[in-house]
Structure 1
Amino acid sequence: MTSDRARLREENEALRHQVATLRQELTCLEEQMSFLVNLCVASHRLHETADRRELLGILREILNNIVGSEELGIFELDAKRSVLSLVDSMGIDPAGFQSIALGAGVIGHTALTGKTFIAGDGAAPTGTGLEPGLTACIPLRCFGGDVWGVIAIFGMLPQKPALKPQDRELFALLERQAGLVLAMTRPD
């Protein structure tokens, strides 16, 4: 009788462990599904308007709600003058970011090389002194893969102190699609 109780307790404990594991897996799947839905929504939102102001607002909203930043700048490359011009921002002092030379600091380097910068991912190019707190810098590509501009993300919201692996997937989506749609709304 005692061995039957011990065996039942062991089986019960094993079942509890299986249930806990399944709950963790379900939570993980729900998070992944939520993120995939966010990616689809972000992609759709980027293509729902041809109005430049609306598009920049949508981009700010995506970065705020999905990435978790209220401090960012969106820059457009003027290839003839080799400078980046700030076309939109949120939560930063725009005065220091109106014009950045191609190749200067992390932002200019991202535009020059077309490589995404993520703080903490190894060596970074020399900053300009205006880039403290830079969390990520994403090149925006247009036709033929040319760099159209850059998104610079500075501070993160308190409830999200660091970027997550899913943010890199969103950055890849923005790199491929945001520059393209912004290039199509460029004023003549």
Structure 2
Amino acid sequence: MRGGGGLVIPMELEEDLLAALERTREALAMLAADSEQRSLLMISLTRELGELETKISEAAAGGEPLRRSRALSQASLAELLSALDEGIGGCERERQTLITRFEIAERSVAALGSRMISVEERRETLLNLWVAGSQLQEAESRERVRAAILEVIINLIGCEELGVFELREDGGERRLELRASMGLDEVRREPILLEAEAEDAGEAWLIARLTSPRPVPFLASQKGASVGGPPAVGRGAGMSACLPLVVDGRLEALVLTWGLLGHKLRGFTDLDRALLRLLAAHAGSALVAAHTRGPAQIPELIGVAER
């Protein structure tokens, strides 16, 4: 052991102290190194903190203009959206207006089409009447007069059955005999005996009408039914028109029709009635004197049609 100043240190203790001292030196060296690293880290953090504070200051300085710009952008966007909504609403209103106008135009076109069809039908009817009336006026024989009467009745009425009867007197007996027809059955083709006793109520009605002082036409008001018309039996069943052809108060012939086609579901129109009565007034004269008829009948016929 060593000693100094009279202090004696055992050898073993001295070695331990030296070892502890060496470890202390090493620990101090390590602490010194850690302190340097920490100082470097602190310097770096301090620098980054300063940069961050600078950025925060800059952001704070520019924040107010940014908020104002954002507010202005939002106001402009709201104004734009409002204008867009208004424009869409205006377009929708305009679309509805166009749809309404289109529907009105469609109805107008349909109505105009119906009127054009009606005008065309009337024009065709008048043309047929003119042709048939010309034939009636210019006919030089009773056969041609009958054919003209049939043509006028067929084109005007559109009936299912039609007959033209002419008066014949034989030994004091007066009868109406069939001279021209379309689609008549045997019963309706039979002569009409004006002085004989009628076989049924329909025949009796017809005879009474024809032998009256002033025979007048009968025109059904509705298809298949008419107040004051013939009883629906025998020759009277389904009769739609009875046109006595009278000249100077004397019965010369008779036009009878039965049934009406589909386009006459409501019976005769006012125009039909006027034309048929006018035809009845002139056809008898045509039969009596075909070669002496004047030219005034056709303009009169057409004039009634146009009114």
> Given the two structures, how large is their TM-score scaled by the length of structure 2?
0.50
Instruction: Give 3-state SS (helix, strand or coil) of 1:71's partner.
Output: strand
Cα separation, 2, equivalents of 1:136 and 1:20: 34
Distance 1:163 1:100, change over 3 A: farther
Distance 1:162 1:4, change over 3 A: closer
Aligned AA (2:117): T
What RMSD in Å do the two structures reach over aligned CA positions?
3.2
- Report the equivalent of 1:97: 190
Aligned AA (1:58): A
Given candidates 147, 156, 161, the residue that maps to 2:251 is 147
Aligned AA (2:194): A
Higher mean C-alpha deviation, range 113-122 or range 70-79: 70-79
Distance 1:6 1:145, change over 3 A: same
Distance 1:28 1:128, change over 3 A: closer
Aligned AA (1:111): L
Cα separation, 2, equivalents of 1:2 and 1:158: 47
Instruction: Give 3-state SS (helix, strand or coil) of 1:13's partner.
Output: helix
- Report the equivalent of 1:123: 228
- Report the equivalent of 2:157: 67
Cα separation, 2, equivalents of 1:178 and 1:135: 19
Given candidates 94, 112, 118, the residue that maps to 2:211 is 112
By relative contact order (CA 8 Å, sep 6+), the higher-ranking structure is: 1
Contact residue 136 and residue 144 of structure 2 kept, 8 A = no
Question: Gapped runs of 5+ residues in structure 1?
Answer: none
Deviations 1:112-166 (A, max 9, x none): 3412123433123557734333221111122x35432211112445776774324
How many pairs are equivalent?
184
Deviations 1:77-105 (A, max 9, x none): 45894733214142332786224215963
Cα separation, 2, equivalents of 1:26 and 1:156: 24
Instruction: Give 3-state SS (helix, strand or coil) of 1:50's partner.
Output: coil
